[in-house]
């Protein structure tokens, strides 16, 4: 039975392909009514539209559009064109397509109504100290700059943005980003005795961010001499972000010297473990950012993108809540560590995928 | 478009972080550890003023320090700027050759090595400092055990030692090594220095001791003793103040039980004139004894540790010992020697916590900040060993609720040694913080006028 079914399907496909070829021949010979009869979706051709390959459907819809145009049936031509654009987003007309088709095409919105971009990547923090606090005879050193082995402040980030093209390659976008950023510190109490008495640790924060960006895509509408859109597109962007610290905590934070002391849970939390159960970090913050990247067209229609992006985030406000800097005695006294006023700036590299969404329709001025 | 790009790039590269102008600044409150890896102990803290005598220029802390490879502790003096950063520090071991002391009668000055015990430090009008303490010598080869004499050091503003004095009990001999201790030094209005402490007149009996000397030459104007005679009658002077009438108020503790004194050790007050002679003003003050469960009277030994002048009188604090337990106390004494208020400084965390008072300072609102130690800090599930204690009482001797706090390491033997308040109301405390492993460091904590680490 299975063999029989396969035979039936293959037979139907072959018939439909022949039907489309015959229709194209009829169009070339000016037998437009034969085209419309052969590709009548409500008639014999109904099953064929289900059996066509994608390319065949594109050829069929385009052929129908032209046939309707030349039989003075603009309403059906528009329907066919919309069907075509549903199948082949941003369908690119050939230079030798009839002028009537180009004219009709120009009356329709063929660009995406929005895009959704997903990106994931790694970041490295750069601490900018606004004011030193604590034992400043020996300044704190961040991200591996000190004599003891601490990390370089690596984190990760994922984001989902909804983007919209405005014009001339300019896009705006907004969405959500989750960023885990950390900075690692190395501090000593006593000049000259850094190897005997020191504090090492990591401050790791999880942040929900709401970025708003403007992006400029170079050569957004540029095509090759053959009328084909460029496969790669460089871009730059800049924007601002509202940042909210979901959670922050110290990881592997300890003092060497005397009786060694390690800051353990729950006292290692910066968002809730102060002696008065207050946050030692500013939960709300803001930042500006900018960067650049490369989009590579992806998928059959070449309207989605794989992206590679480098970005610099410049936090605007103090990460530490100055009112609660000393809220955790285990940190300030047992460990002997007092946070500076600082901002966490990051450089990130991410890889992403951008999906385009369409709703083909006639432009307002042509309705 | 290029302009937009350049603007965005400039904004990023210019790194325009914004600091809140209303946020506390580093000099407004801090916790800092000073010194070196050693066994340090803070005793006294004083503000340091600029040449105009008004502008605050930092702090000076007087204490002791014992290096890991050292046999004994030495005086340690550290000067900081307003932010608590070390400006100068010096370690002084003043007791090698004790000028004029000849315990063994060989007509040569004795060379003694011992542990320095810090007393008080005072800023001198020229910008230098004078520090007083005692040296305790234990030397089996000389048959000395905890033999004490006064050590006094004068330093310039950069903590360079200008002069060292040793004063010892002139009745001490090799067979009767009587002690002399220095606890406080005060510069009087005539430019001379007044030393107060305790002198051992007989073995086991100490009396009040005070000596006036010229600050420049060290020439002695007078040396006086006062006290009860008899073994175990310890009379020890702790603080001295010059009054507006140029009399001198001496505070200490003794076994005197007259006046308001109770059975046991009581706080004592004596007023003397510029020649060291009593004017008649005096008093004894004790924390009222209480009954134990079997109606046996409990004897409180009230040992004075610090006194501060206030409008109309003095506020004295100390530690009372009863049944091997301790609690801090205060006594409010007016200029006529009458105690206005007195009481125990129990903890609002848990009134059964044992407390000790080491220092007191008057705030600009005429409250009093009392610092000291919880000897066994256990509140609920939190157990932190000995902790530095901060309490506050108002003008009528009532605890200021919400101020009390504790500082220290989880299992260290920590304490707050002394406290000062600044013209702007800020409170600065010298602490000893025990990091374990034989390392104790001097901690400097600056609080706001409500006792918080905030603006």
Q: Is the pLDDT of residue A337 over 60?
A: yes
* CB-CB neighbors (< 8 A) of A255 in chain B: 435
Locate the domains of chain A by residue range.
2-110, 114-357
- Section A98-114 average pLDDT: 93
Comparing A58-62, A223-227, B96-100, B102-106, the range with the smallest average pLDDT is: B96-100
Predicted local distance difference test score (pLDDT) of residue A15 = 86
Q: Is the pLDDT of residue A10 over 70?
A: no
CATH number for the segment(s) A114-357: 2.40.160.20
Q: Kindly identify which residue of chain B lies nearest to residue A129, measuring between CA atoms.
A: B17
CB-based contact A338 B441, cutoff 8 Å: no
Q: Would you tell me which residues 209-248 of chain A have a C-beta closer than 8 angstroms to some C-beta of chain B?
A: 214, 216, 236, 238
CB-based contact B37 A197, cutoff 8 Å: yes
Q: Is the pLDDT of residue A9 over 60?
A: no
Percent of chain A clearing pLDDT 90 (strictly above): 65
CB-based contact A134 B30, cutoff 8 Å: yes
Predicted local distance difference test score (pLDDT) of residue A11 = 62
Model confidence, pTM:
0.85
Interface membership of A289 toward B (CB under 8 Å): yes
Q: Kindly identify which residue of chain A lies nearest to residue B10, measuring between CA atoms.
A: A290
Q: In what order do the strands lie in the sheet with B301-310?
A: B301-310, B313-322, B325-334, B339-345
Percent of chain A clearing pLDDT 70 (strictly above): 94
CB-based contact A135 B17, cutoff 8 Å: no
Q: Out of A128, A135, A216, name the one closest to residue B33 (CB).
A: A135
Interface membership of B437 toward A (CB under 8 Å): yes
What are the DSSP calls for A155-209, one per residue?
EEEEEEEEEEEEETTEEEEEEEEEEEEEEEEEEESSTT-TTTSEEEEEEEEEEEE
Comparing A59-63, A135-139, B23-27, B122-126, the range with the smallest average pLDDT is: A135-139
Interface membership of B32 toward A (CB under 8 Å): yes
Q: Are B370 and B328 in contact (CB under 8 A)?
A: yes
Predicted local distance difference test score (pLDDT) of residue B2 = 64
Q: Is the pLDDT of residue A362 over 50?
A: yes
* Probe site for chain A from B7, B12, B13, B17 (most A CB atoms < 10 A): B17
CB-based contact B32 A326, cutoff 8 Å: no
Q: Is the pLDDT of residue A3 over 70?
A: no
- Section A25-30 average pLDDT: 93
Predicted local distance difference test score (pLDDT) of residue B204 = 77
Give the three-class secondary structure for A135. coil
Q: Is the pLDDT of residue A2 over 50?
A: no
* Probe site for chain A from B23, B38, B82, B415 (most A CB atoms < 10 A): B23
Q: Kindly identify which residue of chain B lies nearest to residue A138, measuring between CA atoms.
A: B85
Give the contacts of B165 (CB within 8 A, at least 6 positions apart). B150, B151, B152, B153, B154, B218
Tens digit of pLDDT at every position of chain B (455 positions): 567 666 666 665 555 677 777 778 888 888 888 877 889 999 999 999 998 888 999 999 999 999 888 889 999 999 999 989 899 999 998 766 778 888 888 888 888 889 999 999 999 988 899 999 999 999 888 888 999 999 999 999 999 999 888 889 888 888 888 999 999 999 999 999 999 999 998 877 899 999 999 988 889 999 999 987 666 678 999 999 999 999 999 999 998 877 777 788 999 999 999 999 999 889 999 988 776 667 666 778 999 999 999 999 999 999 999 877 889 999 999 999 999 999 999 999 998 899 999 999 999 888 999 999 998 888 887 788 899 999 999 988 899 988 999 998 888 899 999 999 999 999 999 999 999 888 899 999 999 888 888 77
Contacts A–B by Cβ distance under 8 A: 117
CB-based contact B17 A315, cutoff 8 Å: yes
CB-based contact A333 B407, cutoff 8 Å: yes
Q: Kindly identify which residue of chain B lies nearest to residue A133, measuring between CA atoms.
A: B26
């Amino acid at each position: 039975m299975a063999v029989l079914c396969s035979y039936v399907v293959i037979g139907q496909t072959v018939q439909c392909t022949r039907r489309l070829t015959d229709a194209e021949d009829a169009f070339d010979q000016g037998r437009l009514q034969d085209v419309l009869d052969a590709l009548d979706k409500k008639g014999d051709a109904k099953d064929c539209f289900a059996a066509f390959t994608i390319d065949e459907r594109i050829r069929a819809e385009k052929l129908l559009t032209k046939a309707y145009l030349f039989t003075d049936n603009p309403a059906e031509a528009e329907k066919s064109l919309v069907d075509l654009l549903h199948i082949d987003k941003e369908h690119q007309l050939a230079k030798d397509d009839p002028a009537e088709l180009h004219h009709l095409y120009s009356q329709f919105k063929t660009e995406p109504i929005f895009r959704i971009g997903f990106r994931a990547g790694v970041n490295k923090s750069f601490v900018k100290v606004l004011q030193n606090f604590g034992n400043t005879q020996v300044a704190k050193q961040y991200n591996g700059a000190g004599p003891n082995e601490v990390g370089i402040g690596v984190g990760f980030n994922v984001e989902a943005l909804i983007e919209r093209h405005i014009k001339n390659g300019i896009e705006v976008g907004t969405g959500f980003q989750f960023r885990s950023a950390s900075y690692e510190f190395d501090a000593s109490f006593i000049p000259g005795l850094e190897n005997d008495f020191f504090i090492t640790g990591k401050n790791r924060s999880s942040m929900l961010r709401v970025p708003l960006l403007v992006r400029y895509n170079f050569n957004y509408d540029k095509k090759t001499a053959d009328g084909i859109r460029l496969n790669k597109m460089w871009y730059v962007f800049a924007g601002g972000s509202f940042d909210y610290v979901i959670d922050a905590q110290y990881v592997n934070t300890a003092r060497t010297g005397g009786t060694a002391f390690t800051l353990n849970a729950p006292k290692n939390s910066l968002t809730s473990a102060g002696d008065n159960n207050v946050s030692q970090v500013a939960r709300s913050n803001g930042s500006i950012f900018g960067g650049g990247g490369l989009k590579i067209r992806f998928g059959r229609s070449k309207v989605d993108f794989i992206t590679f992006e480098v970005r610099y985030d410049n936090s605007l406000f103090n990460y530490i809540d100055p009112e609660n800097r000393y809220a955790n005695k285990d940190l300030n006294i047992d460990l002997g560590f007092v946070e500076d006023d600082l901002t966490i700036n990051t450089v990130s590299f991410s890889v992403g995928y951008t999906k385009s969404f369409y709703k083909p329709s006639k432009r307002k001025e042509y309705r | 478009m290029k302009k937009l790009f350049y603007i965005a790039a400039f904004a990023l590269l210019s790194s325009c972080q914004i600091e809140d102008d209303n946020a506390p600044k580093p000099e407004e409150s801090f916790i800092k550890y000073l010194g070196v890896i050693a066994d340090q102990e803070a005793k006294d803290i004083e503000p340091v003023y600029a040449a105009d005598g008004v502008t605050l220029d930092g702090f000076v802390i007087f204490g002791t320090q014992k290096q890991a490879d050292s046999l004994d502790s030495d005086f340690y003096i550290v000067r900081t700027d307003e932010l608590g950063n070390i400006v100068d520090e010096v370690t002084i071991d003043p007791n090698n050759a004790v000028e004029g002391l000849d315990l063994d009668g060989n007509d040569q000055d004795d060379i003694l090595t011992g542990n320095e015990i810090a007393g008080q430090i005072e800023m001198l009008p020229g910008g230098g400092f004078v520090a007083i303490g005692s040296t305790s010598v234990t030397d089996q080869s000389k048959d000395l055990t905890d033999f004490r004499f006064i050590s006094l050091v004068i330093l310039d503003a950069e903590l360079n030692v200008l002069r060292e004095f040793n004063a010892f009990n002139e009745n001490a001999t090799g067979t009767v090594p009587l002690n002399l201790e220095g606890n406080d030094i005060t510069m009087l209005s005539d430019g001379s220095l007044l030393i107060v402490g305790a002198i051992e007149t007989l073995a086991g009996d100490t009396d009040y001791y005070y000596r006036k000397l010229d600050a420049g030459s060290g020439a002695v104007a007078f040396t006086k003793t006062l006290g009860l005679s008899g073994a175990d009658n310890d009379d020890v002077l702790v603080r001295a103040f010059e009054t507006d009438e140029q009399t001198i108020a001496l505070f200490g503790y003794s076994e005197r039980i007259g006046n308001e004194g109770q059975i046991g050790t009581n706080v004592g007050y004596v007023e003397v004139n510029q020649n060291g002679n009593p004017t008649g003003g005096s008093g004894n003050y004790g924390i009222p004894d209480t009954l134990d469960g079997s109606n046996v009277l409990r004897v409180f030994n009230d040992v004075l540790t610090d006194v501060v002048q206030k409008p109309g009188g003095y506020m004295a604090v100390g530690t009372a010992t009863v049944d091997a337990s301790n609690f801090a106390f205060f006594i409010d004494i007016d200029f006529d020697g009458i105690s206005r208020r007195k009481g125990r400084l129990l903890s609002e965390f848990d009134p059964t916590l044992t407390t000790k008072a080491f220092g007191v300072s008057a705030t600009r609102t005429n409250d009093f900040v009392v610092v000291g130690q919880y000897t066994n800090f256990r509140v609920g599930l939190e157990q932190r060993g000995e902790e530095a204690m901060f309490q506050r009482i108002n003008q009528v001797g009532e605890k200021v609720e919400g101020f009390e706090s504790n500082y220290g390491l989880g299992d260290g033997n920590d304490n707050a040694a002394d406290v000062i308040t600044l013209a702007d109301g800020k409170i600065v405390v010298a602490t000893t913080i025990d990091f374990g492993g034989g390392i104790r460091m001097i901690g400097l904590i600056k609080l706001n006028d409500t006792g918080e680490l905030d603006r």
